[in-house]
Amino acid sequence: MLENLAQQPADALLALIKLHNADPRSTKIDLGVGVYRTGQGDTPVFAAIKGAERKLVDTQDSKAYLGPEGDMGFVHALKPYIFGNAVDMSRLEGMQAPGGTGGVRLAIDLAKRAGVKRVWMGTPSWPNHAQIVAAVGLELKTFRHVTPEGTADLDALKAALTEATADDAVLLHGCCHNPSGVDYTPAQWDEIATLVAQAGVLPLLDLAYQGLGTGMEDDAYGVRKVLAAVPEAMIAYSCDKNFGLYRDRVGAFYAMTRDADGLPAVMSNGAAIARASWSMPPDHGAAAVRLVLEDASLTAQWLDELDTMRARMRQVRDKLAAAGRIGPIDMTPLGHQHGLFSMLPLSGEQILALREKHGVYMAGSGRINIAGLTAGNIDAFLAALADVAG
């Protein structure tokens, strides 16, 4: 039986990590994997998380099962940061999920159970979005996310929403678009909120990088605008980037229903899907986040660490943008893009040349991790880029 299974292609980004690890050059630059790095190239545990973990070790008196919803203290502690005052909280509930990925998977599974047939999504997108839609068995409909000028293509989204029907969902990145770094502006979100409400489609909002763009509040603008305009929506949230918890798999799923009476049935379906998929989410990271958010000094420390990350990425972006033109590549849009990622319009040959000749590792799509660049390697990166593309 098992011989019926065909070999699947290796995940391109994971394969890139292996290639990078095997490269003996001390000057190699890793712009592939999507984790934040300090100016020294490290991905340290947040000090606020370390503090919370110490507290957890001292105070946690049981590791007995919590249930498919996970740590509801964690789920509720995040709510003010994500939703502010934009939502009638009697119509919104959440549950913990294994990472933002688990949140997206739950949202798409639930959309299918609810009768959604197609999911609209701007491309390029995080590759796992399309994989999850396919795995759940929904039809994927795409529209262009980025104009050739490097801004968000609102017209393409408008056209998609005109074509969309009541059986459709639309998947939108809340902020720090992966892979392009190109976010909708606040004015565009204002329009999108009205358009999504008029189209009557179900919004699936993926907020995986809150705090890594322009700030915790600003990064929630789009999600809050859409939620204030529509009757129902689903939100996938990740704490893996903004709390640096990647491997601990910390995320959440929230649903907003038309009225409070509709909420228990939706959440019971969420719990049933979780039970049949991962049964219960991993506890440790979510418990640490809860402890951070329950303690004012740990919260302040966490927000301070987030500010430092954001300021560093801003510095890198400013320096890249200041390079102006490198051959045909206009670097200036990188200065006003957001989050960990941006894309460079490079051919496959140029990406290969960057890797083989210069030890610069990036995804085949031309996506670069902004936080992979430091004061120590950014000049070498720009010189390598000029060599292959200039």
Ligand X SMILES: Cc1ncc(COP(=O)(O)O)c(C=O)c1O
Which residue is closest to ligand X by CB? 99
Minimum CB separation of residue 100 from ligand X in Å reads 3
> Exposed e or buried b for every residue in 131-156, given b needs 16+ CB within 10 A?
ebbeebebebbebbbbeeebbbbbeb
Select the residue interacting with ligand X from 71, 240, 248, 283 (CB under 6 A).
240
Told to check if 253 binds ligand X by CB under 6 A, we report no
- Residue 241 annotated to the active site: yes
With CB under 6 A as the contact rule, the residue among 46, 81, 120, 126 that binds ligand X is 126
**Which C-beta is closer to ligand X: that of 103 or that of 333?**
103
Closer residue to ligand X (CB): 172 or 227: 172
> Do the beta carbons of residue 326 and residue 389 sit within 8 Å?
yes
Q: How far apart are CA 343 and CA 320, in angstroms?
A: 12
Residue 141 falls in the annotated catalytic set: no
Tell the smallest beta-carbon distance from residue 44 to ligand X (Å).
17
Does 208 sit near ligand X (CB under 6 A)? yes
251 sits near ligand X (criterion: CB under 6 A):
yes
Catalytic residue among 71, 109, 153, 206: 206
Q: Is 189 a catalytic residue?
A: no
Residues 140-179, one symbol each (x = binds ligand X by CB under 6 A, - = not), give ---------------------------------x----x-
Return the residue matching tokens 């929630």. Answer: 220
Shortest Å distance, C-beta 326 to ligand X: 26
Q: How many CB atoms lie within 10 A of CB 381?
A: 23
Q: Between β-strands 92-98 and 250-256, what pairing exists: parallel, antiparallel or unpaired?
A: antiparallel
Distances (CA, A) of 164 to 52, 120, 204, 205: 45, 8, 14, 17
**Amino acid residing at 337:** Q
| Candidate list 241, 248, 283, 302, residue with the active-site label | 241
Of 32, 70, 94, 99, the one binding ligand X (CB under 6 A) is 99
101 binds ligand X (CB under 6 A): yes
Residue the block writes with tokens 């000028």: 149
Q: Does 51 bind ligand X (CB under 6 A)?
A: no
CB of 188 to ligand X, least distance (A): 18
For 270, list phi and psi in degrees, rounded to 5. -60, -45
Tell me if 34 contacts ligand X by CB under 6 A.
yes
Nearer to ligand X, 208 or 334 (CB): 208
Q: What angle do CA 302, 306, 310 make, to 5 degrees?
A: 170
User: What b-and-e string marks burial along 82-111, b requiring 16 or more CB atoms within 10 Å of the CB?
Assistant: bbbebbeeebbbbbbbbbbbbbbbbbbbbb
Q: What is the C-alpha separation between 78 and 259, in angstroms, rounded?
A: 21
Q: Please, what is the end-to-end C-alpha distance for the chain in angstroms? A: 53
Nearer to ligand X, 208 or 316 (CB): 208
Nearer to ligand X, 128 or 185 (CB): 128
Q: Are 254 and 234 in contact (CB under 8 A)?
A: yes
Q: Which is nearer to ligand X, 172 or 201 (CB)?
A: 172
- Annotated catalytic residues are 126, 206, 241
The binding site for ligand X (CB under 6 A) comprises 34, 99-101, 104, 126, 173, 178, 206, 208, 238, 240, 246, 251
